[in-house]
Homo-oligomer: A and B are copies of this chain.
Amino acid sequence: MKEQKKLVAEITSMEEDFAQWYTDVVIKAGLIAYSHIKGFMVYKPAGYALWEAVQKYLDARFKAVGVENVYLPMMIPENLLNKEGDLVKGFAPEVAWVTHGGSEELQERICVRPTSETLFCDFYRDEIHSYRDLPKVYNQWCSVVRWEKETRPFLRSREFMWQEGHTAHATAEEAEARTQQMLNVYADFCAEDLAIPTIKGQKTDKEKFAGAVATYTIEALMHDGRALQSGTSHDFGSDFAEAYDITFTDRDNKLKHVYQTSWGLSTRIIGALIMVHGDDSGLVLPPRIAPTQVMIIPIQQRKPGVMDKARELAQELSDFRVKVDETDKSPGFKFADQEMRGIPLRIEIGPRDIENGKCIVARRDSGEKMEVALSDLKETIGKLLPQIQQDMYDRAKAHLESHTYSAADKEAFVKTFAEKSGFVKAMWCGDRACEDAIKEEMGVTSRCMPFEQEHIADTCVWCGKKAKKMVYWGRAY
């Protein structure tokens, strides 16, 4: 077991240094490698497989609610980007500019898309003429570039992958309904596929998307008590349509502007997966999206019949995503490796097990080990995987709840953030000044005004004026 210890020892413990633990897991679990350009990551097979799983499950949910996929150019001419004032202010400082094509200088510089509102607007202006052309419910899976100063794997990088949905509707009500519908799709995806509970709510004006009428968000809580914005859905009203002149002839024969939405979820969600479920042995993946669900590890694999039996079990369990670790490493190393990679179940099978018609099944999430008769193995695995999924959700939910506090006044608010890590629910007057001061003085931001409002006090936690909304506050990634 020396090798196992050694491998595990290479990860910093969460308690000691959560940020270093995160970086260690990302590297040791083989998710990414740093490239030689700052802020650009290499997604290795284990990392990209997680993104493929996200795409597969989320895309199926999109298609079930009538979303169609498209693909728009990765380049945006400067004049097109400049049409919508708020958007320009929000993104221009961080775009990458292309000035030359081959050896020729371009007449107008173009940027690599930081987001595609402008392109969708330009496209929709040409495509939409009549109410018959509406709604348009399009999405694209792509990568975007934002020239960030500080970068961290998955959480913030100069290039990142995401999906961005962009829709156009005949009425404000329909756009608002779609905005909320897509937020629910994200929340359900996180809860059911990723076992990540989230808080649904609306962003304050300070935190909303540049140019949006309303931004909705799902906020997850990481193991260290910091929040991660995990998906956002924006109602644009008709502001973009006016800036980009997207009109249609309605049933009443009048020319009107369309109403638009956009919504996105990115590779940040992989950061959430790591930081919600991971532990000091590495990644812990929920069975539904785990690229490999079961790793079979042969013990004394050179003994006759062992490797054959391991392969036979893999065959028998082929309804699940199962692999045999056939490398020539020691069992201890293989155990540690399977744990590091977060594979939900491990099956240990050696000569004595075969003799007794049994094997050991170990759960990655709880560490529980059980002896299982080979004749019951398939049924047991079939029950364990959804059980693990549920247990992981329940644990994450319990963590979220036990790390959510309430503060009725400023003193309690300051004290709670000083002593605890997590969300703090507190009342807010609605003034930007209080929000700014809280961020300035405490490094805490408004995460959202949750849909499920509670009455904690009558007055704003900061200024003491009459409160308008209950807000989730937190320190965020």
Residues of A within 8 A of B (CB): 33, 35-37, 40-45, 47-49, 51-52, 68-75, 77, 80, 92-104, 110, 112, 119, 122-123, 126-127, 138, 142-143, 145, 147, 158-159, 161
A147 touches B101 (CB 8 A): yes
Check if A37 sits within 8 Å of B73, measured CB to CB: yes
B97 contacts A159, C-beta separation under 8 Å? no
Contact of B103 with A93 in the complex, beta carbons under 8 Å: yes
Is A123 touching B35 in the complex (CB atoms < 8 A)?
yes
- Chain B residues, CB < 8 A from A45: 68-70, 138
Q: How far is the CB of A130 from chain B (nearest CB, A)?
A: 12
Complex: chain B residue closest to A38, CB-CB? B101
- Decide: A73 and B103 in contact? CB cutoff 8 A: no
Whole-angstrom distance between the Cβ of A30 and the nearest chain B Cβ: 10
Measured between beta carbons, the chain B residues less than 8 angstroms from A41 are 73
Contact between chains at B42 and A69 (CB < 8 Å): no
Q: Which of B33, B43, B75, B99 contacts A97 (CB 8 A)?
A: B99
Cα A72 to Cα B33 in complex, Å, equals 10
* Chain B residue with Cβ nearest A328: B132
Complex interface: chain B residues within 8 A of A47 (CB): 70
CB neighbours of A94 from chain B (8 A): 101-102
B77 adjacent to A33 (CB under 8 Å): no
Assess whether B100 is in contact with A99, with CB atoms less than 8 Å apart.
yes
5 closest pairs, A vs B, by CB?
A40-B73, A101-B147, A43-B71, A45-B68, A97-B100
Q: Would you call A110 and B44 a contact (CB within 8 A)?
A: no
Point out which of A93, A94, A112, A161 has the most chain B C-beta atoms below 10 A from its C-beta.
A112
A43, chain B: closest CB distance, angstroms: 4
Instruction: Report whether B96 and A101 are in contact in the complex, using a CB–CB cutoff of 8 Å.
Output: yes
Contact A48 B69 (CB under 8 A): yes
- Residue from A37, A77, A122, A161 whose CB has the most chain B CB atoms within 10 Å: A37
Please list 12 pairs of residues, one from A and one from B, whose beta carbons are closer than 8 Å in the complex, sorted by A's number. A33-B123, A35-B73, A42-B72, A42-B123, A75-B159, A93-B102, A94-B102, A95-B102, A97-B98, A101-B147, A102-B147, A104-B147
User: Which of A73, A93, A112 neighbours the largest number of chain B CB atoms within 10 Å of its CB?
Assistant: A73
A73 proximity list for chain B (CB < 8 A):
35, 37, 40-42, 159
Nearest-CB residue, chain B, relative to A46 = B68
Smallest Cβ-Cβ distance to A98: which chain B residue? B96
A12: shortest Cβ distance to chain B, in Å? 22
Q: Bound complex: CA of A122 vs CA of B43, how far in Å?
A: 14
Query: In chain B, what residue has the closest Cβ to A79?
Result: B36
Task: List the B side residues contacting A75 at CB < 8 Å.
Answer: 37, 40, 96, 145, 159
- Assess whether A37 is in contact with B159, with CB atoms less than 8 Å apart: no
The answer to whether B143 touches A74, judged by C-beta atoms less than 8 angstroms apart, is yes
CB distance from A270 to the nearest CB of B (A): 12
Least Cβ–Cβ distance between A150 and chain B, in angstroms: 14
B37 touches A110 (CB 8 A): yes
Cα distance, A126 to B44, chains bound together (Å): 13
Minimum C-beta distance from A100 to chain B (A): 4
| Whole-angstrom CA separation of A49 from B59 in the bound complex | 13
